[in-house]
Structure 1
Amino acid sequence: MNLYLGDHYMKTRHLLSGLAVAAMLVQPSIALSRSMEASPAPLYPVAPYIVDKGVESVYPSVAGQFLVFGQRSKGDEYTVNRVSKSSPSSSRYQLKPLAKIDNMRFGVAIKDGSIGYVSNRVGPTSAWMWQGKGDGQVAIGSLATFRGGLAPYNLNASSDGKVWCFDTTFEKQRYNQMLNEFSHFPHHELVGQQWRTYDSDNFRIKTGYLATKAGKKNKFDAPVLYVFSRQNSQLVMVPNAFDGAVSPDGKSVAFVRETNGNYDIWMQDVDGSDLVQLTNSEYGDFEPAWSSDGKMLLFVSNRDSGGDVHKTSIYMLEISSNRETRLTNSPKATDGGPAWLDSNSIVFHSNRSLTNANGGTSSDWNIWKLDIK
């Protein structure tokens, strides 16, 4: 072989080998860079709070020293659970169905330890309360005189249990569908996205969804919100409202109102006066939750995902200034059901991955904790 060609061959070989090694070194860097882009750092520290293998845990509710949440087992049994918010892994009280046809959902915490919930044990769904001791279950209000029975959804209450609210529909076909859905268990997705109950494009599982954006027509009639006082039995109806949340002092109620496909958070006094719009996004804002001092609201929105039904985050609203703060920012997860654990932290349910909290998802709903301060 010509010495020049041989030397050139060896140099070329070494050069190609060097390039190959360099490429091998660069590839992990590119992958890491892409991973970092796909998994942004969380805005605030977030960690699993309640994880029970084999069940889905959703919609935490906090009052006093108690945290209440709903669970669905893989065998499709619903239960409502109460734990100490300071030690959620310690002793647990569980409300179990009283019969095979008894489905229990929408658990609500009361500061004295009582638990509110919705059940279908006596026919159409109705709201009940376990009073924190014994086995007695008290009906929150007699609903049989209204349309032969309502189908209460999204039960909520003031922290002392004196004022309650729930939403329902007057649309006969949708009313029957909701009763059937309550009895036959919703799809996994819908377990953690109750707001979809009243959206004609999103109320059932399918392969693709339109963005929840202003201008999209909702074929369902608007639901109504009922606010009920256990002290004087006063029942106030708020039209075109759902996802109600009663303020800690029982004087105000925050709720979701849909207008031409757009969902925003509104607020008014429980007597029906002083209506105020709190959020104004072209996408969907849902599931408001009051802070214990009544100054702040948490809510869920898909505003930063372009209205994607499956990609929702938690936000915080200061009512006096109308200042909004985004709290979670996973680009893939469905975050929902927020509640204030205390003035410095919140809890919410999510389908986040337990091993990649801000970048991956799982097939289970778990309760997560986020520290604001």
Structure 2
Amino acid sequence: MTGRPDPESAPQSPAGVQRRHDPAVRGFASDNYAGVHPEVLAALAAANGGHQVAYGEDVYTEHLQEVFRGLFGPAAEAYPAFNGTGANNVALQALTERWGSVVCPATAHINTDECGAPERISGLKLLPVPTPDGKLTPELIDREAFGFDDEHRAQPQVVSITQTTELGTCYTPEEVKAVCDHAHDLGMAVHMDGARIANAAATLGVEPSRFTTEAGVDVLTFGGTKNGLLMGECVVVLDPSRVRGIPYLRKQSMQLASKMRFVSVQFEALLADGLWLRSATRANAMAKRLESAVRAVDGVTVTRPVQSNAVFATLPGEVIERLQKRFRFYTWDEAAHEVRWMCAFDTTEGDVDAFATAIAEEMHNYS
């Protein structure tokens, strides 16, 4: 792993614009905290200048279709969007009727972190299912997938899974296929929230089509913001027969970018030469390094399998408070004193080692 670029060698800011943060500061709260990957910034600059047709009729968005088809098969259709919440809502609306419902894990981002957008904006009903590891199984789906043709119940029409999950766990291709086969047997479609799909591909070591298209996923939201983009996610339709009205739903949901070339070219930079996988591999490796370091600290317990770029652990509440004054991170479960530490594409060994040292120091002071 190489170190990050020297901040002093970065391009100078335009006159009147000041750098208002210290680029050497690192946190472990979210991979969203990281900046834009230099290769993505370079792609944005390359796409700039001159005029291109707006609202997706540009040459970059046209080429993006070929890029995504190379990953997910010839039927794939890509619809760039601004953010993950918007992309998820467009995808779910395209898969459901107004009386439809979506079975999802209780920990799903659509259930816990989108301010009720799927229900308030999309007008559908979420049917959350508690899971031990953030993953659905056919048996867990059946806890809410019932009441078909019952006019008193919102009709279960979609199963939504997240790859990797909000608990940092990763579905295997076989697990995804089992979910999809069961959902399809029930007449339901399958949506995958792929906000961290790159981290899953890095963990599994297989082509992303193995746990999406080939496994039976119908619509995917492909994440970019957490993996080095300035902004942007992409709704990728894998089975066009399952959806309807995405162009209209994207516009109505305020996810249609007028200057879409600047969203599309970021994905081209991310995907064309494997940058997405290299960046995710680095983030995952840094999480493993952090896990190894904190397991050696008395009083710290790693609570979940580290299968992506997330480390979950418990430690005393007093230590959490002191540590958060030195490094930014979030408490996942206040009652259990469980925290979540996230690594990003630009996290270095030095960043991890400094954080692990701080954890050890605070635990020593506590004891």
- Using the size of structure 1 for normalisation, the TM-score is 0.26
Query: Structure 2 length normalisation: TM-score?
Result: 0.26
Bigger RCO of structures 1 and 2 (CA < 8 A, at least 6 apart)? 2
Q: Judging by fraction of residues, say which structure has more strand.
A: 1
Instruction: Report the structure, 1 or 2, having the larger helix content.
Output: 2
